[in-house]
Structure 1
Amino acid sequence: MPDGALDLGPLPPATGRRMEQAITAVRAAIDTGRMRPGTKYSVYRLADALHMSRTPVREALLRLEEVGVIKFEARQGFRILLPQPHEIAEIFAVRLALEVPAAHRAAANPDPALRHALADRHERMHTAARTADESTFARDDFGLHDLILAAAGNARSRAIVAALRETTRLLGASTADTSRTLTDIDDEHTPIVTAVTAGDPDAAATAMRAHLITTGRLLVHQAARTSPHLDPDAIWTALIE
């Protein structure tokens, strides 16, 4: 199959790492349909289309290959892959194992600094949801979960969840504005913040579990839409329930 045509336009000037900019550009191109799963693309043509050198573009693609977004082929070619439902279910199996007890532990003895930090993050999420600012909302969503993990005191769990969430981001797996709105997602965090702030460990764990299960199941179902032979509920049940 000949290499797919690329009409992405040059990246705007930015102060961030060029590799990260290339990742963002590829993800955006996949999301908008300008790069299609199954089509073979050229690393060289991608670099030319982005007006970037080949080194950061190849670094970006290597990172995307690590999490299963693309697959390299011979002669500097690569293809876009669709996220697999079982991969997402596996991620949420680990997140449930780590974040539910973290919420329980964080709520067992919340100090004033944690209460203030959670309230501040949640207020930022409210604002981002009202203005439909998905990138800011995602950043503060991550920050709120990270605060709870940090309060639980397990640095290894915190690092693992951060890596898993980065993998989900690179896979392009998001329910925002597809299965639910930013306000819906924001509302799911309210009982978590309320329970942790009130010092109610059982309620915090229950709320965190409910939020992660809702998110995970929706993402598994979304990923299975292009594979009608797969049963997303069976995949979820096998790994989670």
Structure 2
Amino acid sequence: MPPTREHAELKLQPLPQAGRSLAEQVISEVRRAVHSGAMVPGRLYSVYQIAEQLNVSRSPVREAMLRLVEAGLVQVERNRGFRVVLPHPREIVEIFGVRLALELPAVRRAAGAGPAGLGAALRETMERMAAAVSAGDEELFFHLDQALHDRMLVAAGNGRARAIVGGLRDTMRILGSSTDDASRTLRQVHEEHEPIVAAVAAGDAGGAVRAMRAHLTNTGLILAAQAARAQGEPVDVAALWAAVVDEPVVEEPAVEEPVVEEPAG
């Protein structure tokens, strides 16, 4: 429906309409508008507003809104418009719980029975990620990050897991969740991948699992904490993680003291 008095004011820049699909560009623009404060969570907006200001038809805007609804960033109000909603920390934790359940067995298999040349391919991707860090190209970096994880899932031979993880990562991307902030730099994200790749290349399945668990857990906790701050909620993220993910605690094996027999009296 056309914008009315109940719709919040909105000021966006027209899209370049080159390169990515228009729906993808609309999604990126909505994310930027939310992050910049141009779009305020909870306020009502119209598809007509978005289309007019971005200088596109309503079709790509509707497609973008549907994808944003699926990701949980937008709520549609029938015959009124839509509102931006912020992701709850629990949503973030649930996503990473699923990723842990799928990617840990996958990286174990990739390390133990991956195809020849996997290690070299992963190292090549890591080199490209390092170049993206040096160039400050966040978009390219996270594209390569996703490609790195995807390559390990392909090597594990589980197409269903690959599809699910890809969908979850798309959801996180649409939500705009990135740990490239004061919490963690691109270089630090790159460094977290190094022990994963090293273990896979060396055929160290146990090491690959430990490194992947550490990386995904750290990323999930940071993103959940960011979501809690954005919502202004006093959430105990560590407790939430323990309750939702229910990762077993790995304890060091007990060291038995040697038994010293007393001499017979």
Q: TM-score, normalised by structure 1?
A: 0.96
Deviations 1:196-233 (A, max 9, x none): 00110000010000000000011111111123243222
Partner of 2:117: 113
Partner of 1:28: 32
User: Which letter does structure 2 place at the counterpart of 1:169?
Assistant: R
| Range that drifts further, 104-113 or 136-145 | 104-113
Deviation at 1:4, TM superposition (A): 1.5
Matched, 1:223 2:189: no
Matched, 1:6 2:1: no
Matched, 1:123 2:127: yes
Partner of 1:174: 178
Deviation at 1:70, TM superposition (A): 0.6
Matched, 1:213 2:213: no
Structure 2, gaps ≥5 residues long: 247-265
Contact 1:4 / 1:39 at 8 angstroms: preserved in 2?
Answer: yes
Aligned with 1:104 (options 104, 108, 120): 108
Contact 2:115 / 2:155 at 8 angstroms: preserved in 1?
Answer: no
| CA distance in 2 between partners of 1:209 and 1:77 (Å) | 41
Q: What is the correspondence of 1:68-83 to structure 2 with a 5 Å cutoff?
A: 68-83=72-87
Contact 2:65 / 2:74 at 8 angstroms: preserved in 1?
Answer: yes
Q: SS of 2:87's equivalent?
A: coil
User: Which letter does structure 1 place at the counterpart of 2:133?
Assistant: A
User: Which letter does structure 2 place at the counterpart of 1:144?
Assistant: L
| CA distance in 2 between partners of 1:156 and 1:109 (Å) | 18
Aligned residue pairs, count: 241
| CA distance in 2 between partners of 1:176 and 1:108 (Å) | 32
Matched, 1:132 2:117: no
Deviation at 1:135, TM superposition (A): 0.2
Matched, 1:233 2:238: yes
Matched, 1:89 2:93: yes
Q: SS of 2:14's equivalent?
A: coil
| CA distance in 1 between partners of 2:175 and 2:97 (Å) | 17
| CA distance in 2 between partners of 1:130 and 1:230 (Å) | 35
Q: TM-score, normalised by structure 2?
A: 0.87
User: Which letter does structure 1 place at the counterpart of 2:235?
Assistant: L
Contact 2:179 / 2:219 at 8 angstroms: preserved in 1?
Answer: yes
Deviation at 1:56, TM superposition (A): 1.0
User: Which letter does structure 2 place at the counterpart of 1:127?
Assistant: A
Partner of 1:145: 149
Q: SS of 1:112's equivalent?
A: coil
| CA distance in 2 between partners of 1:167 and 1:239 (Å) | 19
User: Which letter does structure 1 place at the counterpart of 2:238?
Assistant: D
- Sort the Cα spacing of 1:188 and 1:133 in 2 relative to 1 into closer, same or farther, 3 A: same
Deviation at 1:42, TM superposition (A): 1.2
User: Which letter does structure 2 place at the counterpart of 1:97?
Assistant: A
Larger radius of gyration: 2
Aligned with 2:43 (options 28, 39, 44): 39
| Range that drifts further, 192-201 or 72-81 | 72-81
Deviations 1:12-57 (A, max 9, x none): 1304321111111111211222111111111111110100111110
C-alpha root-mean-square deviation of aligned residues, in Å? 1.3
| CA distance in 2 between partners of 1:15 and 1:137 (Å) | 18
Deviations 1:116-170 (A, max 9, x none): 2101111011111122110000000000000101001110001110000001111
Deviation at 1:76, TM superposition (A): 3.9
| CA distance in 1 between partners of 2:6 and 2:43 (Å) | 8
| CA distance in 2 between partners of 1:130 and 1:211 (Å) | 21
